Structure 1
Amino acid sequence: MEKFTVRQMIPNTAPESYRLKIWFDVTTPKELLFFESIMERISINHDVLFTTGSSPMVAELCSIRNLCPTQVGEFGGTDRSQRLTIQVDRAAALSSLAQKFKPDVVISSCSIEASRVSFGLGIPHMGFSNTPYNESICRRSIPLITKLFTPSYIQVTEFTRYGITADNIVQYSALDEYLIVHNRPTPLWSAKSLNLQPNKKTIVLNIHNNSIIDIINEFPQYNIVVLTQDANQIKSLQSFDNVIILNQAFDSQKLFSRCDVMVGYNGAMIAEAALRGIPTILHDTTPTINERYLMELGILMHTDNIIKSIKHTMLSDRHIIQKKAHQILCVMQDPYDILMDNIRTILD
């Protein structure tokens, strides 16, 4: 059978008797960045099967990060019936591949299809989640996995309501974005390709409301980078000279190296920016568990008056924010170490 590797240039150096077969199923860009360094370290001594679905953003990010996944099945669907058919077809394809690869363990961010396949084939499944509020995914995956790994600031009871017992939940003292921040940059993508004016400060926006226009008009002296794939929004912003529209996959580390303020409405990019020491503002949304934790740490601002907050942030001492973020990162645990300890325990 074909030998799977995360990157083609990584040799597998462990003796045959020591090597494990480990299958990662990745479904979103955030999961890709989270698991990248874990897969890279594991693939040094073990055989890795790295699967994704037909997600354009994941495929583009894999190309940027020089990763080599095996694409299996599709995601999406316009209604319940179509989504179910797509999921069932993908699970069937993953089942066939898994039976050929014969993994010792499965790792995912509670992938619905990987959960079904691993449970059906009796393969231990290590699932990661920091989104207990995502009931659609949690209800269809968590009852089927072997061990659930989650940040320690999330109460265990947030997950036990889905059917997993507390003794099968493993917690680590870190935000998931810890691994993303520690990822190495890649030379395959450059912030220079965005045509940012080097003598101007840069505001990165990941919001989808009328505040974008207000920000553009209020800060014409800054580079405004808007992260969006919405065709209507892209059309409405194309006439502004100081707006750069980013609608494809990108290396966040390169982008954030030129970012002076990040404004968003939820998600991994908010946490990543805050942990990188970038002044970060949560706008026009209710904070999730993860964002409330960032606010408690003092590295995330939540506001309804976005213009006033940006002005205040631009006058703040960024070195203080960077120092605080660095101190927070230094005391976080690497989930990789906890994962490997649990894999050894389960397989012994």
Structure 2
Amino acid sequence: MKLGFSAADEAFRQECAAWLQEQMDGPFADIRGITNLVSKVDRRRLWEQQLAAHGWSCIGWPKAWGGRDATLAQQVIFAEEYARAGAPNRINHIGVELAGPTILAFGTEEQKAKFLPGIAAGTDIWCQGYSEPNAGSDLANVRTKARLDGDEWVVNGQKVWTSLAHFSDWIFVIARSEEGSQGPKGLTFLMMKMGQPGIEVVPIGQMNGEAEFNETFFTDARCPADSLIGSVGDGWRVAMGLLAFERGVSTLAQQMQFRNELDAIIAAAKANGMASDGVVRSRIAKAEVGLRLMRYGALRMLSNTDLSAIDGAALTYKIQWATWRRDLGELAMDVLGQAGEVVDGDNYHWPMLPNMYLFSRSDTIYGGTNQIQRNLIAERGLGLPREPRGNL
């Protein structure tokens, strides 16, 4: 077996790499290397629109809806080159990689025409209304309610850890539409406009001094009756389909970000002499091996032709990268020493590596805690008996 890309794919790599380099060296140099999601939001909105104007916003989508019909190999290449160029983390990742593919897979033609153009153009930023105070990793426990009132849905409840809700234009919401239902039954998947009366967003301060996450409160918030994706009570199937898209090509871009972080650690170790420490060298080597294994695992996962299914590789991927990056953050701080614990100024902003360390503490929690991931691997991947449920 020959592992590699075709000549046409390599030509595509050169095309997208040249364009990205031109942008990051030129008009968007001021947002190069930004890894958090709340810095220079206005500039990054313009960046989303610049990507769209040149056909790079959602290359895997059909051409009819603003994409390029890019092959899987091309999507992987673009994701890698995007991160390699130091382009900023996409503030519309949720729209492009989650909401859009879900609408394409489960939405009607009318819904596609309503929602997709704004995502593809980079003008509509989306956020995700899944987790609640008592329904984080246990998504089937959501309590937010939706009831049909004439030709509108009325939504009441609370979501939490809503990334970027404070400047998003739209949110997709999992709500309980059948009174008395429990678990995955009786849920409905709704698309709602942000900024309307009845939706309140409260930022959650993080220990790195930023606030990417929010609490989102719904008090008689409304959306049209035809804003539901799928059918009434079919929300769980749509929600699980969306989570399968979450483990898509963007995982390769995520890994390229990890590559940049590991390279920064290596550079810091060489600069301050820590590279001569045998234990540090061993830990760097272990991190390098882990990163390469993640790449091969992600490529194997993406080779699954049924992108709506979560197979064994997908089940293990979250716990793999989250644990690896948590350890990488600890390695970064050990290499930096005191220099990584102090920053100048009152309104400080941590540099990349200390910020990565602080944020990585959440990696093993959001998107399903490591403990929940182990249950999923055991029960769904290995077919072991289910963990006992119920009150203790």
Question: Do the structures match in fold with TM over 0.5?
Answer: no
> What's the TM-score, normalizing by structure 1?
0.29
